Structure 1
């Protein structure tokens, strides 16, 4: 899958030659991105490269990179934990460039990845979890057709406030995806 939107953003599969540029994303993670995704603020370059390369060869996942119009990596969209017997998987997305947030890029990438999951992989169910203090992501997932299933109450701590937040569970089924499209 290679998709380009009207603004020139590209969503495409991760390639081995992307490993160094990918690792640079994790040299210093923006604190707000780390807060909303549960990431650390820094990852070792060698570990990030090893992780990235191992994911490319992992049959239970599909990793896509989100590139801006200048071909700079600004995020990733991932289908992981693919269970071919159950036809189910997990989904996650992260945009590391905070200047690209709130522009609809994430919603577009979610839609493209979800379409790929059901059309190309043939999934029956795609699930995710999102922190309750990330309302922008919740709206984007709902816009794509994801439905709230429940929450792990007070399961995470919001690093900005020190207060607890919920880990909200969401999913979309193949029939819901077809109806939504």
Structure 2
């Protein structure tokens, strides 16, 4: 059975290279900058342009959401904002939730920061929230993210054909999921 306090009480999770902290208004400017990075927008399929006030409000309201978990990814030891992630669309009856992660700039990719953040949040999801399944969608062209998800125990479950129209081209999205035992096996 899912522990609802694990979503309501926003944790701080620490790894060797990243620290996950509750997303708050102090992260708004860095998050806004990431929404304006063309490559990050492509990788996440984000067409919408957010205003400064919308991002500030979004960050400010995250702590009040009892049914989801939104965390900022910061680097250790300097505390620099490197992205954000969410556990959302929690299905308590089926012990399942959706996962989303976005690094804030291309300079942070390929360093293992997203992998460490994903492992930290999955450990929390399976041990503390008591989920059985965590799923996500990733665009099929994002091979680096797919490799990271596989290393964390995710497997491809399906394909959403032509899910993204970006600059006149259509792209598939992959549906991936990790079950608790998949995650345990992947991280040893």
TM-score class, shorter-chain normalisation, is 0.7 to 0.9
Is the Cα–Cα contact under 8 Å of residues 86 and 100 in structure 2 kept in the other structure?
A: yes
Task: State the match for 1:11 in structure 2.
Answer: 20
When residues 89 and 133 of structure 1 are mapped into structure 2, their CA distance, relative to the original with a 3 A threshold, is same
Q: Secondary structure at the match of 2:67?
A: coil
Shift of residue 51 of structure 1? 1.7
Q: RMSD value over aligned CA atoms?
A: 1.8
When residues 97 and 84 of structure 1 are mapped into structure 2, their CA distance, relative to the original with a 3 A threshold, is same
Q: Using the alignment, how far apart are the partners of 2:69 and 2:96 within structure 1?
A: 13
- For structure 2, list consecutive stretches of 5 or more residues without a partner in the other structure: 1-11
- For structure 1, list consecutive stretches of 5 or more residues without a partner in the other structure: none
Shift of residue 34 of structure 1? 0.2
Q: Using the alignment, how far apart are the partners of 2:116 and 2:140 within structure 1?
A: 21
Q: Using the alignment, how far apart are the partners of 1:41 and 1:101 within structure 2?
A: 22
Task: State the match for 1:119 in structure 2.
Answer: 127
Deviations 1:133-152 (A, max 9, x none): 11110110011010100111
Q: Using the alignment, how far apart are the partners of 1:35 and 1:97 within structure 2?
A: 12
Runs (4+) of structure 1 exceeding 3 A deviation are none
Task: State the match for 2:175 in structure 1.
Answer: 169
Shift of residue 53 of structure 1? 2.5
Task: State the match for 1:50 in structure 2.
Answer: 57
Relative contact order, higher structure (CA 8 A, sep 6+): 2
